[in-house]
Structure 1
Amino acid sequence: MKKFLIILHDLSAGGAEKMMTRLAGALVDAGNDVTLLLLTGGGINAKYLDPRVKTVELHSPRSVRAIPALARFLRANRFDAQLAALTHVNVVAIAAALLSGTLARLHVSERNAFSHDKHVNPALMVRLAYSAAPLLYRLIPNPVICVSKGVAQDLVDTTIARRQDVTTADNPVLDDDFYKKRPGRPSHRWLLGKSGAVIVAVGRLARQKGFDTLISAMAALPDTHVRLIIFGEGSLRPQLLEQARELGVAERVDLPGYTADPLAEVAAADCFVLSSRFEGSPNALVEALATGTPVVATRCPHGPAEILINGLVAPLVEVDDAPALAQAIGLQLNTPRHFKRDTRLEAAARFANTPALQTYLTAMLGSAAS
């Protein structure tokens, strides 16, 4: 049995937070002792945390102010491996590990395309973290764990990080028996009582997700009965609704907010679309594949091309190309639903708990043994 520590800011509604809770559970299932440390505390993803995982909350008002407390915790508790996630948390963890003499056991991870993600949050401390991170990544003893080959290459191509400074591990997105589970009942009225094809997308209502392009593509579809549901919350809700009105499709576009069971909604849809401008390794795309529902994705940096094996599993279109996206969606809607279903399930299986856990064990311990 090994002792693992996972370090996060909190358990807010983000893909990285959800994946770290799943990783913690997979590590416990494999017979390990796991502690999850939150620099602040709480968050909606707490509901996904295995009760066998120990939790520690530092309740720091800001991430950087957690460094002394984190250093004290690391000195007082010895772990075989320490894993931090997200750039600003990585910087804090590196500082605390250096102060506590545990840098040799620290691993940090990047969850998104660094060259794009660094422009998202304009806060001064976040910008400083993104400026410092590449230098620290070059100096720390263990390579940065990236969620896809594209994310790893992006770090090498756009920062001072070298190829030996990065490695990869897959997100544990799915339960091992995902293919045996029947989907839940969808909640959206358009999926409960269909009067035509329904497209579903899931994600924050933010520019990164490219939902403006998706709405334009939906409006360009020749079938005027197709409907689009985008599950998620975010600051772009008013702009997206206004765009739908301007394009004359407001009656066929709905933004209902978060859904408690996105897999149930996607499983009932006729097509899932990932329209992102950039990603790391999009979990929503993997979850959609696991339902067997036909999918379409952009060839954005990074992740979709790797997950969809460069278009062999499902169509890939260029970013911000609404006509191409509309054409790909139309093709999927006019293709029998069962076509390539087994291929989609096989592509998703790589991201089940057990195989994904092995990639993390290899990255953190140098072998796939637990």
Structure 2
Amino acid sequence: MPKIAFHLNCLTHGGAERVVTNLAGRFADAGYEVVVATEWIDDNEYELNPKVRRVNIGLKPEDENKGRLYKYIRRIKYLHDFMLCEKPDVLVAFAKLALFRALMACKKTGVPVVISVRNDPRTYYIGIRNTILIKRYIGRAAGAVFQTEEAKSFFPEKLQKISTVILNPLTPKYIEAPDADHRDKVIVNAARLVKFKNQEMLIYAFSDVYDKHQDYKLKIYGADSGDGTLERLEEAIRETHLDEEVELMGQSDSLEEDLRCASVFAYPSNYEGMPNSLMEAMALGLPCVATDCPCGGPRELIEDGVNGLLIPIKDRKALSDKICWMIEHPNEAEEMGRKARLIADKASLDAVYEQWRSYLDNVISNGKRL
């Protein structure tokens, strides 16, 4: 069987890390030799399948006191050495820093590199430096996996022709969770507390909802990113005088139970790649309201008015109005949730694995070996 390497910064709780953890384990269970190469080990990480081998290729202790450029070059060298030593049949690099490192490091290794873009490229891949990097190195890619057609369209046509679009795999526990037997009077959100997720707007929108529906509460699940968002959310709660009605729940490893019986899942992001937590909420059968944000992730998942509701980004009134609509039309909302659950048919781990397997097997057969 072929040998597959995945490369990313670490396995801390996040969307790309979750996808790599799930895919690596599924490939290993299918008999592939799988190696995950990371730059560092974090305290709060996803657990890898025991069949998957992990290699730390980050900076060494003697590198730490060196300058920024030196460290940048060493990271590329260590990844290059890893490719020469491990000789994987393909290396898949997830997220911007890792994928540019991989494209720089692959020269003279004979290892085809597939890149996977995880965020909105019109936010993360703009500016002079990124333009130069794309122009100089993107042609080395043997392929690319995008989460949406909109993200794919940002990159050069030559790369688009050898790329594909694949949804993120759902963690099985969300698919296997039983149907809700009732709806609690709770609005929920689950995402890392970071500015672009815009939970701050959700709190203000909920204050408008609360004016009409004072028996409802808002619960926001997610770890603090450290960018000041947690403090802004706490201030928004104080400002709206909703200390008893809005709860910041922190990180949870049992969201399939925490969210399952909520009345509405609200997702107010300003931009996204493919939002895992929205997919998980849909798989649980939750009535969902989400922003139609770039680079098109919610739009790929939700058919407005059929299996959820879409609203413009940064539109507090639209968010509060649609949440109220869900509350006030429980039968229609429940039907949307039932249809949302069908996301499992195309985003189960097995379904997504088959798409990745087919694509990577083709790259291994035909990909660039620089």
Normalising by the residue count of structure 2, what TM-score does the alignment of the two structures yield?
A: 0.85
Q: What is the rounded CA distance, in whole Å, between the counterparts of 1:150 and 1:199 in structure 2?
A: 30
Contact 1:137-1:144 at 8 Å conserved across structures:
no
Counterpart check, 1:200 vs 2:183: no
Q: What is the rounded CA distance, in whole Å, between the counterparts of 2:158 and 2:19 in structure 1?
A: 25
Q: What is the rounded CA distance, in whole Å, between the counterparts of 1:93 and 1:4 in structure 2?
A: 14
CA 1:368 to 1:330, structure 2 compared with 1: closer, same or farther past 3 Å?
farther
- How big is each residue's C-alpha offset from its partner over 1:53-108, in whole Å with a ceiling of 9 and x where there is no partner? 01111232656522212212211222221101011111111111114242xx1111
Residue of structure 1 equivalent to 2:288: 295
Counterpart check, 1:106 vs 2:82: no
Q: Secondary structure at the match of 2:290?
A: strand
Residue of structure 2 equivalent to 1:188: none
Q: What is the rounded CA distance, in whole Å, between the counterparts of 1:63 and 1:12 in structure 2?
A: 21
Q: CA deviation at 1:367?
A: 8.3
Residue of structure 2 equivalent to 1:227: 217
Find the partner of 1:351 among 343, 347, 351.
347
Identity across the alignment (%): 24
Residue of structure 2 equivalent to 1:147: 147
Contact 2:146-2:164 at 8 Å conserved across structures:
yes
Counterpart check, 1:44 vs 2:51: no
Q: What is the rounded CA distance, in whole Å, between the counterparts of 2:45 and 2:356 in structure 1?
A: 21
Find the partner of 1:97 among 106, 111, 118.
106
Residue of structure 1 equivalent to 2:19: 19
| 1:360 partner letter | W
- Indicate the larger mover: 160-169 or 54-63: 160-169
| 2:221 partner letter | F
Q: What is the rounded CA distance, in whole Å, between the counterparts of 1:283 and 1:303 in structure 2?
A: 10
Q: CA deviation at 1:39?
A: 2.1
Residue of structure 2 equivalent to 1:257: 250
- How big is each residue's C-alpha offset from its partner over 1:209-248, in whole Å with a ceiling of 9 and x where there is no partner? 0112211211111112221111121321111121222223
Q: What is the rounded CA distance, in whole Å, between the counterparts of 1:241 and 1:83 in structure 2?
A: 39
Q: CA deviation at 1:351?
A: 1.3
Contact 2:175-2:344 at 8 Å conserved across structures:
no
Residue of structure 2 equivalent to 1:122: none
Q: Secondary structure at the match of 1:108?
A: strand
Q: What is the rounded CA distance, in whole Å, between the counterparts of 2:216 and 2:96 in structure 1?
A: 40
Q: Secondary structure at the match of 1:250?
A: coil
Unaligned runs of 5+ in 2: 65-70, 366-370
Q: What is the rounded CA distance, in whole Å, between the counterparts of 1:109 and 1:310 in structure 2?
A: 27
- Indicate the larger mover: 334-343 or 359-368: 359-368
- Indicate the larger mover: 359-368 or 249-258: 359-368
Counterpart check, 1:339 vs 2:338: no
**Structure 1 runs of 4+ off > 6 angstroms?**
none
Q: What is the rounded CA distance, in whole Å, between the counterparts of 1:253 and 1:237 in structure 2?
A: 13
Q: What is the rounded CA distance, in whole Å, between the counterparts of 1:161 and 1:229 in structure 2?
A: 45
Q: CA deviation at 1:24?
A: 0.4
Residue of structure 1 equivalent to 2:368: none
Counterpart check, 1:130 vs 2:130: yes
Contact 1:135-1:161 at 8 Å conserved across structures:
no
Q: Secondary structure at the match of 2:335?
A: coil
Q: CA deviation at 1:315?
A: 0.4
Count how many residue pairs are aligned between Structure 1 and Structure 2: 346
Unaligned runs of 5+ in 1: 120-126, 185-190
- Indicate the larger mover: 313-322 or 351-360: 351-360
CA 1:286 to 1:24, structure 2 compared with 1: closer, same or farther past 3 Å?
same
Find the partner of 2:321 among 321, 327, 334.
327
Q: CA deviation at 1:160?
A: 8.3
RMSD, matched Cα? 2.7
Q: What is the rounded CA distance, in whole Å, between the counterparts of 1:34 and 1:137 in structure 2?
A: 25
CA 1:180 to 1:240, structure 2 compared with 1: closer, same or farther past 3 Å?
closer
Counterpart check, 1:217 vs 2:217: no
Residue of structure 2 equivalent to 1:168: 165
